[in-house]
């Protein structure tokens, strides 16, 4: 699943490239009721059948339910065929612990729920605990990577500036950015430029926003995101491309972006997203002068 390591700079950086699309495990963890487990397994199976081989979960997703469900569904698959990641620092019970012992405990608990070895481990949105994450949590993960216990280290946040600090000051393999780089919001471009320079894989989530998925975008709308979505959609339609299709394809145009995460809680959602992914976007769309002005 991963490319060979190589020396990218005087600091040791691992070239880590997860698959182009991944399944975000948050909706999987939130599936309710007695049928939740069965629906989760069917959804993950549909994702696998659609070619998805990258699965992102967390102790927080359904208080551990997401990890358990991924472990159950993936147990029947050859382990060398897929990559699984989880997060540390925020535990299943909602507590926050970025201490060295807390990170070790979190990983043990996640591995027990998954019943799988974890490939990629993300520091989960440390926020006010950033210094502790840098001083205590990150060194633990770095040691585990050096021992071969995990393949890669990442940081996951919705604040691109804080992620930029981690890319600058540590030897991360990957970042997971929630929002802030999509057709409607490209504010995180400086972070992606740094990731490209440092050889850090950028994983993007949250590209199928409500404004992108909305089928009726009224002319009288006043919010900037809906107005921009309507204008970009009009350009896309001239090329036979839907706005969701373009939104899924857009992040990967930046060379640092290796993966886009898709959230789904049913087989139907996976199949719909897979159909969008399979449809090619004409190169002419990305060179359209009106679209370039809208994206500027």
Decide if 51 is inside a domain: yes
Question: Considering just the CA atoms, what is the radius of gyration of the chain in Å?
Answer: 19
207, 184 in Cβ contact below 8 A? no
Entry pTM: 0.91
In a domain, 213, yes or no: no
* Full residue range of the structural domain in which residue 163 is found: 21-207+250-265
Q: What is the pLDDT of residue 4?
A: 30
Q: Which residue has the higher pLDDT, 18 or 9?
A: 18
Write the pLDDT tens digit of every residue in 106-136.
999 999 999 999 999 999 999 999 999 999 9
Based on the structure, what is the number of domains in the chain? 1
Supply the pLDDT for residue 33.
80
Total residue length of the chain: 296
First to last CA, the chain: 35
Q: Is residue 127 within 8 Å of 136, Cβ to Cβ?
A: no
Domain harbouring 82, CATH code: 3.20.20.100
Burial class (CB in 10 A: 0-12, 13-18, 19+), 17: middle
Q: State pLDDT tens for residues 214-250.
A: 877 667 677 898 999 999 999 999 999 999 999 999 9
Domain assignment present for residue 123? The answer is yes
Structural domain includes residue 15: no
Q: How confident is residue 163, by pLDDT bands cut at 50, 70 and 90?
A: very high
Residue 241 in domain: no
Mean pLDDT, the chain, whole residue set: 92
Tell me if 76 is assigned to some domain.
yes
Does 287 map to a domain? no
Q: Do the Cβ atoms of 184 and 202 come closer than 8 Å?
A: no
Assigned domain for 144 exists:
yes
Q: How far is CA 151 from CA 13, 23, 79, in A?
A: 12, 19, 14
């Amino acid at each position: 699943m991963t490319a060979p390591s190589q020396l990218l700079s005087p600091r040791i950086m691992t070239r880590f490239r997860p698959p182009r699309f991944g399944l975000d495990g948050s909706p999987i963890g939130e599936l309710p009721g007695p049928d939740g487990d069965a629906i989760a397994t069917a959804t993950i199976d549909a994702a696998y059948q659609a070619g998805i081989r990258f699965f992102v979960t967390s102790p927080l997703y359904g208080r551990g339910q997401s990890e358990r469900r991924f472990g159950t569904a993936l147990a029947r698959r050859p382990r060398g065929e897929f990559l699984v990641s989880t997060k540390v620092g925020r535990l299943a019970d909602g507590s926050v612990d970025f201490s060295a012992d807390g990170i070790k405990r979190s990983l043990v608990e996640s591995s027990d729920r998954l019943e799988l070895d974890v490939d990629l481990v993300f520091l989960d949105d440390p926020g006010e605990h950033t210094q502790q994450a840098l001083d205590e949590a990150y060194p633990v993960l770095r040691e585990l990577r050096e021992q071969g216990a995990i393949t890669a280290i990442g940081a996951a946040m919705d604040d691109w500036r804080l992620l930029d600090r981690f890319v600058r000051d540590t030897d991360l393999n990957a970042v997971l950015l929630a929002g802030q780089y999509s057709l409607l919001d490209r504010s995180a471009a400086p972070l992606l430029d740094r990731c490209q320079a440092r050889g850090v894989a950028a994983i993007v989530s949250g590209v199928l926003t409500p404004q992108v998925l909305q089928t009726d975008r009224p002319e009288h709308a006043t919010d900037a995101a809906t107005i921009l979505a309507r204008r970009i959609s009009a350009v896309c339609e001239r090329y036979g491309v839907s706005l969701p299709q373009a939104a899924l394809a857009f992040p990967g145009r930046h060379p640092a972006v290796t993966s886009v995460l898709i959230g789904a809680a049913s087989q139907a959602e996976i199949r719909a997203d897979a159909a969008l992914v399979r449809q090619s976007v004409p190169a002419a769309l990305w060179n359209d002068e009106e679209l370039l002005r809208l994206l500027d």
